Amino acid sequence: MTFEPIEKQPGSNMFVMKCGGSTLAALPDSFFEDLRELQRSGVQPVIVHGGGPAISGNLEKLGIESSFVDGLRVTTEEVLDVVEMTLSGSINKTIVRRIQATGGQALGLSGVDGNLIMVRPVANSDVLGMVGEVTEVRAEIVTGILAMGYIPVIAPIGVDGGGQRYNINADTAAGAVASFVGSPTMIVVTDVPGIMRVLDGEKVVLPSVTVAQIEELIADGEIYGGMIPKVRAAMDCIQGDVSEVVIVDGKEPNVLSRVLQGEELGTRIVR
């Protein structure tokens, strides 16, 4: 999918960060203090978050069955109620509270607010249900929130022209937001140090890989198990104007500042 950004801001200090809800919940206060210092120094973070495990937990508590096809949650209207409640409600506000508890300023919203993220049904919606493919992100809402001095914290729920809401894969939503606001770099915060492979009997982090090299590493079994979905999710973010995705461990001290200053941390995925 190719996105056409609405507005670019050359020289902007903006960057987009994608993080899973469970990963963010486990991050130390120092991560949010780093975010606060970046904001105070004039850097403009934009956060897009997920929340798969929390959604699954709430569905289980409510006795609602849920299934996945190719890594995407099959979303009925009943499931969508829980998805929206969890993402736009508890997870979104937890992130906002944590940012503000350390002295930062944040404003939480979902793609429904102001028609921020416009979508259409995915091609196989007959199988997946109410899952959306992003067609437009209203960049002026994001830049407007930044101009007011707040960090936008965005839940990946979208809406179509008729007001129907849709569940969006968080990685896809993050890539679309980054592309429409003109951010060439996406930072994906995870609980792993990056993409690793075995060299001379030791596991080492690969500082930089291309999308083609990742496919080779998966085929060779160098990337395996739970790392495969993490890597594929990061690859999904490379779309439109997003030319590189950096996978980092959120528990690394001052990880965001160090990546933005060009320090070699984690793994850079490039086209």
CA distance 149 to 139: 16
User: Is 167 annotated as contributing to ligand binding?
Assistant: yes
Q: What stretches of the chain adopt beta strand conformation (E)?
A: 14-19, 44-49, 68-69, 72-73, 106-110, 117-121, 132-137, 151-155, 157-159, 165-167, 185-190, 196-199, 202-205, 208-210, 244-249, 267-270
- Distance (Å, whole) CA 40 – CA 53: 32
What is the spatial distance between Cα 5 and Cα 138, in angstroms, rounded to a whole number? 9
Distance between CA atoms of 100 and 16, rounded to whole angstroms? 18
50 known member of a binding site: no
Which residue in this structure is represented by tokens 């959306």?
Answer: 132
Number of Cβ atoms within 10 Å of the Cβ of 46: 23
Q: How many residues does the chain have?
A: 271
Which residues are known binding-site members for substrate?
51-52, 73, 167
Binding site members: 51-52, 73, 167
